[in-house]
Amino acid sequence: MIEGVMMRAADKWAVAVRSPNGEILIKKEAWHSIGRRFKVFEMPVLRGAVVLIETLVLGVKALSFSAEVASSEEFAPEKGFQNPADRISFEEKKGLWWSLSLAATVVFSLLLGIFAFFYLPLLLTEMLGIDNSFWFNVVDGTIRIAVFLAYLILISRWKEIKRVFEYHGAEHKTIAAYENKKELSWENIKDYSPFHARCGTSFVLVLMLVSILVFLMLGKPAGWQERFIRMLFIPLIGGVSYELIKLSDRFPNNPFTLLMIAPGLWLQRITTRPPDEKQVEVAAAALKAALDLDNNSVQEIKLAVSTWDG
């Protein structure tokens, strides 16, 4: 199993993985967000939907790199290779088929998420036969959150996912140390909290709470056309949720902000675990690469930061 962390900065992304022989392998590339090329996508709300899709794209790329490392025979310890960085190509797989595969994976991930956490709860709520529009949407939102919590609790019991959650904690600790202008060493990072206000877990929970308010305004759907319209509002919901999460940056001590991020921080007790020193080393390597810290260049950390396990 190849384990790693992906980090994204303002104009660069990087992934660090630990190979079977213990070395940390790093891949980093320039990243030009669509918002930088088309200013309209940097507008509030719209930028949140863009960040969500771009994060999925980078996540698939990172997993592809992890799979390449995992499947490379050169990394087998019995082969006797001591420098895996010399035995594997870091070049992105090019070509039409790879691009189509990437696009298909991103679309499938989005559709699966929409079905599991939006359409399925809607169907379950309709089966209850609730006529009142207000209570229909409240029950729909409650089921949605329950499905999400059940999903997290279920996967948290898997040994492999527990390792993912440990890397998640390493990611948060490392970012906290950087935001507090600390050198990214184990001694400086280890005492920071594994919880972070701008975590993707918090974002998803805020999104689900916002969805209840938005769907209340849409009323109870009647027929597949209104169900479809309901699904079309999900990017808007994601954009609004992104803006709310960003408020935790601008107003970290505001009572409303603290109340808003509290459920997400609580939820991170499920999705994060205390990391060990080796896991923190991987997270620090990824962040340094994304920010070009070796070149003394400091850039903004985006919300789009994810931890994964290949």
The pLDDT tens digits for 281-309 are 999 999 999 888 654 333 333 333 334 33
The model's confidence at residue 262, banded by pLDDT at 50, 70 and 90, is confident
Please state, in angstroms and rounded to a whole number, the distance separating the CA atoms of residues 238 and 219: 19
**What was the pLDDT predicted at 310?**
38
Mean of all residue pLDDT scores within the chain:
81
Looking at residue 304, what is its pLDDT?
35
Higher pLDDT, 146 or 85: 146
Cβ distance 155 to 161 under 8 Å?
yes
Q: How far is CA 121 from CA 5, 117, 248, 308, in A?
A: 32, 6, 29, 27
Lowest mean pLDDT among 74-83, 136-145, 154-163, 176-185: 74-83
State the Cα–Cα distance between residues 177 and 193, nearest whole angstrom: 10
With pLDDT > 90 as the criterion, what percentage of the chain qualifies?
38
Asked whether residue 228 carries a pLDDT value surpassing 50, the answer given is: yes
Q: Can you tell me the mean pLDDT for 226-253?
A: 87
Question: Taking 90 as the threshold, does the pLDDT of residue 65 lie above it?
Answer: no
Does the pLDDT value for residue 175 go beyond 80? yes
Q: What confidence score (pLDDT) does residue 62 get? A: 82
> Does residue 12 register a pLDDT over 80?
yes
309 vs 40: which has the higher pLDDT? 40
Question: What is the arithmetic mean of pLDDT over 37-53?
Answer: 82
| Confidence band of 174 (pLDDT split at 50, 70, 90) | very high
Instruction: Map out the domains of the chain as residue ranges.
Output: 3-309
* Residue 185 main-chain phi, psi, to 5 deg: -120, 160
> Which pLDDT score is estimated for 106?
76
Is pLDDT above 70 for 167?
Answer: yes
User: What pLDDT score was predicted for residue 95?
Assistant: 59
Q: Would you give the DSSP letter of residue 196?
A: -
The identity of residue 111, as a single letter, is L
- Structure-model confidence comparison of residues 305 and 177, the more confident one: 177
User: Edge-to-edge strand order for the sheet containing 24-30?
Assistant: 24-30, 12-18, 3-8, 306-309
Q: Average pLDDT for residues 156-168, to the nearest whole number?
A: 90
Average pLDDT (265-279) is 92
Q: What is the pLDDT of residue 48?
A: 83
pLDDT category at 99 given cuts 50, 70, 90 is low
Angle between the N-to-C axes of helices 133-155 and 200-218, in degrees from 0 to 180, rounded to the nearest 10: 160
pLDDT band at 168 (very low <50, low <70, confident <90, very high): very high
The pTM of the whole model exceeds 0.75: yes
pLDDT at 71: 65
pLDDT reading at 83 higher than 60: no
pLDDT value at residue 1: 57
Res 93 pLDDT > 50:
no
Whether 176 shows a pLDDT value over 90: the answer reads yes
